[in-house]
A and B are shown apart, each in its own frame.
Chain A
Amino acid sequence: MIKGIIIVNNHGKPRLVKFYQSVESESLQQSVIRRVFQQVAARPDSFCNYLEGAIPEWGDNIKLIYRHYATLFFVFAVDSQESDLGILDLIQVFVESLDRCFESVCELDLIFHSDRVHYVLDEIVMGGMVLETNIHSVLQAVKDQDRLHKDSLTRVEATESASHIQQRLGGDTSKWQYNW
Chain B
Amino acid sequence: MPKGGKLNDDGSNPALNTYKRKKYVWKLVYIHILGYEVDFGHPEVLVLVRSSKYGEKNVGYTALSLLMRGDDPMMNSIRSDIVKDLTKPTAAGKSSAPADAAQALAICAIANITGLELIQSMHTEVVQTMVAKSSSANVKKKAALCLLRLARTNPKLVAGRDFVTQIAQLLQDRHLGVLTSSMSLLYGLASQAPNEYESLIPYAVHILGMLVLKKACAREYLYYRTPSPWLQIKLLKFLQLYPHALAQAADSGTTPETSPANGSAHISQLTNIISKILTETDVSDSINKSNADHAVLFEAVNLIICWGSTSQQALRDGAMKLLGKFISVREPNIRYLGLMTMAKLAQLEGSGESIKKHQATVLVSLKDADISVRRRALDLLFVMCDTDNAERIVDELVAHLVIADAAIREEMVLKIAILAEKYATDLRWYVDTILKLISISGDHVSDAIWHRVVQIVTNHPQGDLQAYTAATLLVAASPRRCHETTVRVAAYILGEFGFLIAERPGMSGEEQFRILHQHWTTADPATRAILVSSYAKLANLYEECRPLVAPVFAKSMNNVDVEIQQRSAEYAAMREAFSPEAVEDLLREMPPFEEKKQSALEQRLREKEGDDSAAVVKAARPSAAERKRAAQSAAARVAEEIQSRPQTADEGPASPMRNGATGGNDSEFDRSQKVGIPKEVIPAMRKAFSNLCTSPSGVLFENALLQVGVKHEYVGAQGRISVFFGNLSKAPLSHFRADVEERDHLKMQKQGTQGLLDSDENGGCTVAVRTQAKMLLSVEVVAPFDDAPAMRVSFVTEEGEYHEYPLRLPIVATCFMEPVTLEAGAFMQRWRSLEGQDRECQEVVKAPPNAPEIDEEYMDRIASIITNGLKFGRCIGCDPTPWTVSGAATFRTAAKDMNGNNINVGCLVRVEANPQAGAFRVTTRTLHPLCSKAVKNVALVSIKLA
A residues engaging B (CB < 8 A)? 1, 13-18, 20-22, 26-27, 29-30, 33, 43-44, 46-53, 60-61, 80-81, 83-86, 88-90, 92-93, 114-115, 118-119, 122, 126-137, 141, 145, 148-153, 155-157, 160
Contact B59 A115 (CB under 8 A): yes
> In the docked arrangement, what's the CA distance between A160 and B55, Å?
15
The answer to the question of B332 belonging to the interface, with a C-beta cut-off of 8 Å to chain A, is yes
With known contacts A85-B295, A118-B62, A137-B177, A127–B111 Cβ distance under 8 A: yes
Contact B62 A115 (CB under 8 A): yes
> In the docked arrangement, what's the CA distance between A135 and B291, Å?
17
Interface size on B, as a range, is 35 or more
Q: A14 contacts which chain B residues (CB < 8 A)?
A: 33-35
CB < 8 Å: which of B55, B237, B335 contacts A153? B55
Q: B187 contacts which chain A residues (CB < 8 A)?
A: 81
Contact A132 B177 (CB under 8 A): yes
With known contacts A93-B223, A115-B59, A16–B33 Cβ distance under 8 A: yes
Contact A149 B58 (CB under 8 A): yes
Q: A145 contacts which chain B residues (CB < 8 A)?
A: 58, 101
The answer to the question of B96 belonging to the interface, with a C-beta cut-off of 8 Å to chain A, is yes
Within 8 A of A (CB), among B235-261: 237
CB < 8 Å: which of B101, B146, B221, B288 contacts A89? B288
- Give the shortest distance, in Å, between B231 (CB) and chain A (any CB): 8
Q: B373 contacts which chain A residues (CB < 8 A)?
A: 47-48
CB < 8 Å: which of A84, A86, A129, A153 contacts B18? A153
Question: Per-residue 0/1 for B299-310: is the Cβ within 8 Å of any A Cβ (1 yes, 0 no)?
Answer: 100000000000
Within 8 A of A (CB), among B249-297: 288, 291-292, 294-295
CB < 8 Å: which of A26, A60, A61, A148 contacts B35? A26
B residues engaging A (CB < 8 A)? 17-18, 26, 29-30, 32-38, 53-56, 58-59, 62, 66, 69, 95-98, 101, 108, 111-112, 114, 138, 141-142, 145-146, 148-149, 152, 176-177, 180-181, 184, 187, 191, 218, 220-221, 223, 228-230, 233, 237, 288, 291-292, 294-295, 298-299, 332-333, 335-337, 369-373, 375, 608-610, 612-613
- Give the shortest distance, in Å, between B897 (CB) and chain A (any CB): 78
Q: B337 contacts which chain A residues (CB < 8 A)?
A: 84-85
Contact B336 A48 (CB under 8 A): yes
Q: A130 contacts which chain B residues (CB < 8 A)?
A: 180, 184, 230
Contact B114 A22 (CB under 8 A): yes
- Give the shortest distance, in Å, between B97 (CB) and chain A (any CB): 5
Q: Among the interface residues B56, B145, B237, B608, which one has the most CB atoms of the partner chain A within 10 A?
A: B145
Contact A47 B332 (CB under 8 A): yes
Q: Which B-chain residue is minimally distant from A44 (CB atoms)?
A: B369
Q: Which A-chain residue is minimally distant from B292 (CB atoms)?
A: A89
- Give the shortest distance, in Å, between B605 (CB) and chain A (any CB): 13
> In the docked arrangement, what's the CA distance between A51 and B371, Å?
8
Contact B299 A50 (CB under 8 A): no
> In the docked arrangement, what's the CA distance between A84 and B221, Å?
20
- Give the shortest distance, in Å, between A73 (CB) and chain B (any CB): 15
Contact A148 B333 (CB under 8 A): no
> In the docked arrangement, what's the CA distance between A43 and B221, Å?
33
21 example contacts (A-B, Cβ-Cβ < 8 A) are as follows: A20-B114, A47-B332, A47-B369, A47-B372, A50-B333, A51-B372, A61-B609, A83-B233, A83-B295, A89-B288, A126-B142, A127-B111, A131-B141, A131-B142, A131-B177, A134-B220, A145-B101, A148-B54, A149-B58, A151-B96, A156-B53
With known contacts A129-B148, A130-B184, A131-B141, A48–B95 Cβ distance under 8 A: no
Q: A30 contacts which chain B residues (CB < 8 A)?
A: 35
> In the docked arrangement, what's the CA distance between A157 and B36, Å?
33
CB < 8 Å: which of A18, A84, A149 contacts B66? A18
Q: A92 contacts which chain B residues (CB < 8 A)?
A: 288, 291
Q: Which B-chain residue is minimally distant from A61 (CB atoms)?
A: B610
Contact B145 A85 (CB under 8 A): no
Q: Among the interface residues A18, A131, A135, which one has the most CB atoms of the partner chain B within 10 A?
A: A131
Q: B612 contacts which chain A residues (CB < 8 A)?
A: 80
Top-8 shortest CB links A-B: A127-B111, A85-B295, A48-B332, A30-B35, A47-B370, A152-B54, A136-B220, A149-B55
Q: Which B-chain residue is minimally distant from A87 (CB atoms)?
A: B295
Q: A22 contacts which chain B residues (CB < 8 A)?
A: 69, 114
